[in-house]
Amino acid sequence: MPGGRPRIEFDEKDWKLLDVYCQFKHFEKDIASLMDCSIDTLERRINERFDCTFAVYRNKIMSKTKHNLFTKQYDVAMEGNPTMLIWLGKNYMNQTDKQEISAGQGSVKIEYCLDENQTLKSSS
């Protein structure tokens, strides 16, 4: 007669719920708690069904979420939303608001002097 509590099985409803939790990037301990099982049980069930760890599984689910978010952002930008156009430009095309000014390959010498009150004097 085996000891311990009965094996916790996941049905299709549980797997769909797990996907929703993963889409929202919940931590493993929180998902286990929400699914009323231990972290070890969650890891084992994922490994049995998908032959991977929780982290790998969650990243796979998250990649779909990231794709959906990017697609929506792109659609909003293409509809003419200036904020989204700027954001995508900065994040995907390395565009910037800053202008970098280069002095070329030479060096620039800056001289200054202080008067008797230790005040900076400028010379024009």
Residue 23 has a pLDDT of 92
pLDDT band at 91 (very low <50, low <70, confident <90, very high): confident
Burial label for 123, CB within 10 Å (0-12, 13-18, 19+), is: exposed
- For residues 10 and 18, the answer to whether their CB atoms sit within 8 Å is yes
For residue 74, give every residue at least 6 positions away whose Cβ sits within 8 Å of its Cβ, in sequence order, or none. Answer: 88
Question: What is the domain count for the chain?
Answer: 1
Q: Does residue 114 belong to any structural domain of this protein? A: no
Q: Does residue 109 belong to any structural domain of this protein? A: no
How large is the average pLDDT for residues 59-82?
A: 92
Q: Does residue 71 belong to any structural domain of this protein? A: yes
> Which residue, chain included where needed, has tokens 């929506």?
72
Residue 55 has a pLDDT of 96
Looking at the whole model, is its pTM more than 0.85? no
The per-residue pLDDT for range 14-55, each reduced to its tens digit, is 999 999 999 988 999 999 999 999 999 999 999 999 999 999
Q: Could you list the residue range(s) of the whole structural domain that residue 43 is in? A: 12-95
Q: Which of 41, 40, 21 is nearest to 31 (CA)?
A: 21
Q: Does residue 87 belong to any structural domain of this protein? A: yes
How distant, in Å, are the alpha carbons of 13, 69, 121 from that of 24? 17, 12, 59
